[in-house]
C-alpha cells in the first residue's frame, strides 16, 4: 500500500493483527481523544483504497469496527452429508459452521446445520436396540425405554427449534477466548419430531425435590477412554417440563443424521446448544443442580457480574447460561456482493431471542446513523427463529455495510459492539454486518 503512512495492506494487517490495523485506521486505542468515531483522513484513504471505492457514509463509521469487507472467506472442505461451503473449525473433534448465506432456508436442512462435537460419535447409532434410561435420585420409578416404547406410549410432537452454540461469535472477543473460533454460523433452526420430555418424566414420576435434569450421551471421550464422559449437561426442571422440550427421533421429517445425535437426542430450544444432548442414552433427574462434565467450573458459564476484559474470574463467580440473548443474521445476501446503481436489494434473514420472541428487526445502511424497520414474520411456534425482510435502496455508488439489529419482546436490543467479555467467549450477540458494493 502506497498511501500515507501505510506501508502494508490493510487486508494483510487486519488478518494478522486487527488491533494494530484498527489503530492505524482510527487512531490509538489508548488515546480516547483521537477516537471520537471518525476515520483519520489517512485511514479513510487507506480503507477506500483497500476496498477499491469510496465510502458514502464514512462520516458515520464508528471507531473500533473492522470493516465487514475484511471478513474471512470460506474454505473448501467436504464433510459427509454437508455442503462444501461449511467451514471446518476443528476436525478432532469435528466442529464446522455455516456461512450466513447458506442459512437462508426457513427450516435449516441437515446439509447446512453446523456441527459441534466434543468427542467421537458412537460407532453404532441403530435405532433398533437403542435404550434410553431414566433414573437419578429424584425419580420415582427408574425405567428404560426403547424408541418403539417412546413412540407407542407417548404422543408425538413436531416443533421448529433453534439450536445455537453458546460460543457462537466467540472469534470476535479480545482478548481472544479459547475454544472453537465460531464467527456467526453456529446456529440453525431445523424441525424436530419426538416425544415431550415432560410426558416421559410424568410417566416415571418426579419426586418433590427434583430440581434439574442431566443427560448422558453415547459418544466417546477424545482420549478414547471408555469410562470418561464427554459432556453431561442439563436444564432446570421448569425448562425440562416445557411443551417444546423434546426427546427427538427425527429432524426435518427424517431419522436424525449421525452427526446430529442419531437415533435420539434431547432438544432444549433457545438455550445453549450444549443443553441439547446428542446420542441420548440416559437422563437423570437430580435433586441438585446437575454436576456432570461441562456443567461445572467455567464451562457454559459467564461471570455473574460484568468483568474487565482479560480478567481472571473465580469459578464460584461464574453463572450457568440459560436462555440465549436476542440476535439476528442477514442470510439473503452474502457479504461482498456487487449491485448496479438504482437497483433495490432485498435484504432478509432471521432473528431469534432464546426463550422469548423477537419484537422487531431494524436495518441500517449508514453505519447505524439511521434505521428502518423490516417486515418481521411470527415464529412457526415458540422457540423458532423469525424471518425478516426489507427492500433497500442505496443512494449512490460506493461501499456500504448493511447492519441488522433485533429487539426482543422485553425491549432488549442487540449491541453494536461485542458485549460483555467473558473468559470462555460465550453470548456474543453483536449486530451482524455485511459489506455490499454499488457500482
Ligand X SMILES: Nc1nc2c(c(=O)[nH]1)N[C@H]1C(S)=C(S)[C@@H](COP(=O)(O)O)O[C@H]1N2
Residue 115 found at the interface with ligand X (CB under 6 A): yes
Is 279 near ligand X (CB under 6 A)? yes
- Our finding on whether 274 is near Mo ion (CB under 5 A) is yes
CB of 104 vs ligand X, minimal distance in Å: 18
425 touches ligand X (CB under 6 A): no
Should residue 302 be labelled a site residue for ligand X when binding is judged by CB under 6 A?
Answer: no
Note whether 217 binds ligand X by CB under 6 A. yes
List Cβ neighbours of 14 (8 Å cut-off, separation of 6 or more). 21, 66, 70
Could you say whether residue 117 binds ligand X (CB under 6 A)? yes
Binding ligand X (rule: CB under 6 A), the pick from 180, 276, 374, 428 is 276
Q: Which of 172, 219, 284, 362 binds ligand X (CB under 6 A)?
A: 219
Q: Which does 260 bind (CB under 5 to 8 A by kind): ligand X, Mo ion, none?
A: ligand X
Is 231 a residue that touches ligand X (CB under 6 A)? yes
> For the residues of 159-220, what is the DSSP string, one character each?
EE--EE-TTTTGGG-SSPPSS----S-SEE--EEEEEEHHHHHHHH-B-TT--EEEEEESPB
The residue among 62, 68, 100, 73 whose CA lies nearest residue 401 is 68
**Beta carbon of residue 231, minimum distance to ligand X (angstroms, whole number):** 5
**What's the closest the beta carbon of residue 154 comes to ligand X, in angstroms?**
22
* Nearest in space to 149 (alpha carbons), one of 192, 218, 203, 191: 203
Using CB under 6 A, which of the segments 1-9, 16-24, 102-110, 115-123 binds ligand X? Answer: 115-123
Q: Which stretch binds ligand X (CB under 6 A): 50-58, 134-142, 235-243, 270-278?
A: 270-278
**Beta carbon nearer to ligand X, 117 or 125:** 117
CA 191, 192, 193 angle in degrees (round to 5)?
A: 130
Out of 277, 325, 334, 425, name the contact with ligand X by CB under 6 A.
Answer: 277
Stretch that binds ligand X, among 276-284, 310-318, 330-338, 422-430 (CB under 6 A): 276-284
- 112 touches which of Mo ion, ligand X, none (CB within 5 to 8 A by kind)? none
327 binds ligand X per the rule CB under 6 A: no
Contact 300, 426 (CB under 8 A): yes
231: nearest Cα among 214, 206, 247: 214
* Rounded to 5°, angle at Cα 184 from 324 and 280: 55
Residue 273 touches Mo ion, criterion: CB under 5 A: yes
Binding span for ligand X by CB under 6 A among 109-117, 154-162, 174-182, 196-204: 109-117
Residues 141-200 that bind Mo ion (CB under 5 A): 165
Judged by CB under 6 A, the stretch of 116-124, 282-290, 399-407, 417-425 that binds ligand X is 116-124
Contact between 433 and 402 under an 8 Å Cβ cutoff? The reply is yes
Strands (E) across 62-121 are located at 87-91, 94-97, 115-116
Q: Total number of residues binding ligand X (CB under 6 A)?
A: 21
Residue ranges of the alpha helices (H) in 35-123?
41-51
Given a contact cutoff of 8 angstroms between Cβ atoms, the answer to whether 116 and 180 are in contact is yes
Beta bridge partners of 360: 407
Q: How far is the CB of 388 from ligand X (least distance, A)?
A: 23
Whether 349 and 330 have beta carbons less than 8 Å apart is answered as yes
Task: Report the residue from 40, 101, 116, 433 that binds ligand X according to the rule CB under 6 A.
Answer: 116
DSSP strand pairing (191-196 vs 212-217): unpaired
Q: Which residues pair with 434 in a beta bridge?
A: 402
Show contacts with ligand X in window 127-186 (CB under 6 A): 163, 165
Q: What radius of gyration, in Å, describes the C-alpha atoms of the chain?
A: 23
Check if the beta carbon of residue 236 is closer than 8 Å to that of residue 319: no
Q: Summarize as ranges the residues that interact with Mo ion (CB under 5 A).
A: 116, 165, 273-274
Q: Summarize as ranges the residues that interact with ligand X (CB under 6 A).
A: 113-119, 163, 165, 217, 219, 230-231, 260-261, 273-274, 276-279
Amino acid at each position: 500500500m502506497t498511501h500515507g503512512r501505510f506501508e502494508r495492506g490493510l487486508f494483510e494487517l487486519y488478518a494478522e493483527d486487527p488491533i494494530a490495523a484498527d489503530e492505524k485506521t482510527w487512531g490509538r486505542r489508548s488515546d480516547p481523544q483521537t477516537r471520537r468515531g471518525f476515520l483519520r483522513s489517512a485511514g479513510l484513504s487507506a480503507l477506500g483504497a483497500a476496498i477499491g471505492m469510496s465510502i458514502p457514509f464514512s462520516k458515520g463509521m464508528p471507531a473500533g469496527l473492522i470493516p465487514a469487507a475484511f471478513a474471512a472467506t470460506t474454505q473448501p472442505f467436504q464433510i459427509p452429508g454437508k455442503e462444501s461451503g461449511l467451514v471446518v473449525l476443528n476436525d478432532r473433534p469435528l466442529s464446522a459452521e455455516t456461512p450466513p448465506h447458506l442459512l437462508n432456508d426457513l427450516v435449516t436442512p441437515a446439509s447446512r446445520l453446523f456441527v459441534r462435537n466434543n468427542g467421537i460419535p458412537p460407532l453404532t447409532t441403530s435405532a433398533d436396540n437403542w435404550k434410553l434410561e431414566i433414573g437419578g435420585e429424584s425419580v420415582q420409578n427408574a425405567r428404560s425405554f426403547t424408541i418403539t416404547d417412546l413412540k407407542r406410549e407417548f404422543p408425538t410432537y413436531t416443533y421448529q427449534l433453534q439450536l445455537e452454540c453458546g460460543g457462537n461469535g466467540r472469534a470476535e472477543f479480545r482478548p481472544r477466548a479459547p475454544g472453537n473460533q465460531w464467527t456467526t454460523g453456529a446456529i440453525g433452526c431445523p424441525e424436530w419430531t419426538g416425544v415431550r420430555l415432560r410426558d416421559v418424566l410424568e410417566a416415571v414420576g418426579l419426586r418433590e425435590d427434583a430440581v434439574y435434569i442431566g443427560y448422558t450421551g453415547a459418544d466417546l471421550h477424545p482420549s478414547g477412554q471408555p469410562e470418561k464422559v464427554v459432556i453431561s449437561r442439563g436444564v432446570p426442571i421448569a425448562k425440562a417440563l416445557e411443551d417444546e422440550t423434546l426427546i427427538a427421533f427425527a429432524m426435518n421429517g427424517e431419522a436424525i443424521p449421525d452427526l446430529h445425535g442419531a437415533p435420539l437426542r434431547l432438544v432444549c430450544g433457545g438455550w445453549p446448544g450444549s443443553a441439547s444432548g446428542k446420542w441420548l442414552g440416559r437422563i437423570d433427574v437430580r435433586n441438585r443442580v446437575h454436576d456432570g462434565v461441562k456443567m461445572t467450573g467455567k464451562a457454559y458459564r459467564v461471570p455473574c457480574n460484568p468483568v474487565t476484559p482479560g480478567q481472571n474470574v473465580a469459578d464460584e463467580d461464574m453463572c450457568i447460561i440459560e436462555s440465549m440473548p436476542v440476535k439476528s443474521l442477514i442470510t439473503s445476501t452474502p457479504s461482498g456482493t456487487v449491485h448496479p446503481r438504482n437497483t433495490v436489494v432485498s435484504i432478509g434473514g432471521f432473528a431469534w431471542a432464546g426463550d422469548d420472541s423477537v419484537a422487531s428487526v431494524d436495518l441500517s445502511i449508514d453505519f447505524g446513523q439511521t434505521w428502518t424497520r423490516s417486515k418481521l414474520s411470527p415464529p412457526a411456534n415458540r422457540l423458532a427463529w423469525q424471518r425478516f425482510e426489507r427492500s433497500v435502496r442505496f443512494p449512490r455508488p460506493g461501499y456500504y455495510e448493511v447492519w441488522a439489529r433485533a429487539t426482543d419482546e422485553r425491549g432488549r436490543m442487540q449491541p453494536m459492539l461485542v458485549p460483555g467479555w467473558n473468559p470462555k467467549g460465550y453470548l456474543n450477540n453483536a449486530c451482524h454486518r455485511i459489506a455490499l458494493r454499488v457500482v
